[in-house]
Amino acid sequence: MKLTGAEILLECLLEQQVDTVFGYPGGAVLNIYDALYQYADRIRHIRTAHEQGAAHAADGYARSSGKTGVCIATSGPGATNLVTGLATAYMDSVPMVAITGNVARPLLGLDSFQEVDITGITMPVTKHNFLVREVGDLADTVREAFAIAQSGRKGPVLIDIPKDVTAAECEYTGREPLPPEDTPMPSERRMKAALELLMHSERPFIYAGGGVILSEAAGELHRLAAALDAPVACSLMCQGGYDQYDGRYVGMLGMHGTKTAALALHECDLLVAIGTRFSDRVTCNAGLFAKNCKVLHIDIDTAEFGKNVDAALRLRGNAREILAALLPALPQREHGDWMARITRWQREYPLVQSAPHPDAVTPKELLETLDALTGSEAILTTEVGQHQMWAAQFYRFRRPRQFITSGGLGTMGFGLGAAMGAQLANPGKQVVNIAGDGSFLMNANELSTAARYNIPLIELILNNGVLGMVRQWQKLFYENRFSHTTLEKPVDYELLAKAYGVPAYTIAERAQIEPVLRQALGEKGPVLVNCLIDMDQNVLPMVPAGAPVEDIILEM
């Protein structure tokens, strides 16, 4: 049948089982939006307040569901407003397809109104991007984009479509989606070498990264830890990849990790690193990282091997498939003395947080109360800063895709859009965005989107009146010169929320934590909770920049 380019685009989205897209209309995508009007019963469109919010919402939808998120923007500033969201997804290996309109083909390259070379701009922050010059190429381009987004190390793909291509007509024939490309398994020789390392280790330590979640390997990770009789630490991106109620879990490793994880790294004889790129926030000083042990590194991306940390053995492939192949050949190991040391360290070095006065709200008590009230079952999104680390430290995640945060790029303003995407992908789940007041003000306009579509999420602001993480560094390393980190913005957060039609509450003292959270959790639509905390509440433990992971600060 003959369809316009815009109709072909939407038919291809339906082929990929896309049911929700996030975007903002404009001149170059008018034909696409006209088609969306006709397809409204099959594809739900969420109009965000800003294109960056659309990208973050598509990202949150993808991270929380495992599906490919989709966002749409017009040419020029609409397209460039997606760049931060694309870079956020790229750094954290999130499958997304961004669709941008552009000026008509005869106007390309002429500095036309709202024209920009978005494929050139986004080349460094996408897995691949396309400029579709012929309507006959559109369908196959869309199919290829979705396959690329989900193949190998996942990531965002951009499709730029000139306006006249969306208006042109072409024959369309539906097809089944292209499967993601298979990732080859390591050689039998390498697999045997890995088994030798695992079987001869007396003090093994498992470090799991975001690749565990992306490859759906949480079950295999749990079985490996049991078979190997080893403690497990998770990166920020792998929160929920291992059940934190399990006694083997020792917390995060790295700059804001636990003392137990740091000691386990120092004392282990084998570090089994799965689906991790060894970020500088984990290694702290890569030259001193894991120098007392052998490293077995399992990852899907060969570019990550040896980039930051050398390994005795590298296994390239899908983490779930590799672990599934290793487990049947791995005999049950027993490391009673090693696990007893781990348990002793856990008792000696628990995560604690003092309050400046008895009635003060501490992030620890706030998040532990939220954890208890939600039965550890909520999906938490975060902005970036101290609140992000506290959420990872004090909420106990039980399964993958519960914790959604910008780890690689560290994008302030990410969480609220991501929370909307996560809730729309998981309508039966409770979704809470943990925000700092600085991050919240970056994209507070998306409260209007949550209100417009009655998206039932909680915006929980840990309000300390400062850019807390930067202030903490100024305190430690800049002799308390708090240059431009005190916000001093006279914002009434309850009034701001109510202006958007969102109910709001304030927590000012400890006694209000549980009743206010209960009330917020009972709301049927979006709600804002403004929680006042002390500006000098710090994220601890902390490893100073350039120090080895073991040199961890427990008190300030």
User: Which residues are known catalytic residues?
Assistant: 51, 113-114, 163, 469
Q: Buried (b) or exposed (e) across 468-483, using 16+ Cβ within 10 A?
A: bbbbbebbeeeeeeee
Give the number of other CB atoms < 10 A from CB of residue 110. Answer: 9
Question: What residue type is assigned to position 208 of the chain?
Answer: A
Say how far residue 306 (Cα) sits from the centre of its chain: 24
357 SS3 class: coil
Q: Which tokens in the block code for residue 426?
A: 């998981």
Q: How far is residue 326's CA from residue 519's CA, in Å, rounded to a whole number?
A: 48
Kindly give, in sequence order, each residue whose CB lies less than 8 Å from that of residue 245, ignoring residues fewer than 6 positions away: 376, 396, 398
DSSP-based three-state secondary structure for 556: coil
Residue 253: both structure tokens together: 């490793």
Q: In 329-359, which positions are buried (b, 16+ CB within 10 angstroms) versus exposed (e)?
A: ebeebebeebbebbeebbeebebebeeeeee
Closest CA to 89 of 405, 341, 370: 405
Residues facing residue 436 across a β-bridge: 462
| Those residues with Cβ within 8 angstroms of residue 147's Cβ, 6 or more apart along the chain or in another chain | 177, 178, 179, 180, 181
Residue 177 CB burial class (10 angstroms; 0-12, 13-18, ≥19): middle
Contact 532, 463 (CB under 8 A): yes
Nearest-angstrom CA–CA distance, 491 and 55: 27
**3-state secondary structure (DSSP) of residue 249:** strand
Please state, in angstroms and rounded to a whole number, the distance separating the CA atoms of residues 540 and 369.
19
Structure token pair of residue 395: 């909420």
CB count, 10 Å around CB of 45?
Answer: 19
Of 462, 272, 246, 249, which Cα lies nearest the Cα of 365? 462
Report cis status (omega within 30 of 0) of the bond before 541. yes
- 468/29 Cα distance (integer angstroms): 40
Residue 409's alpha-carbon distances to 4, 176, 384, in angstroms, are 38, 34, 10
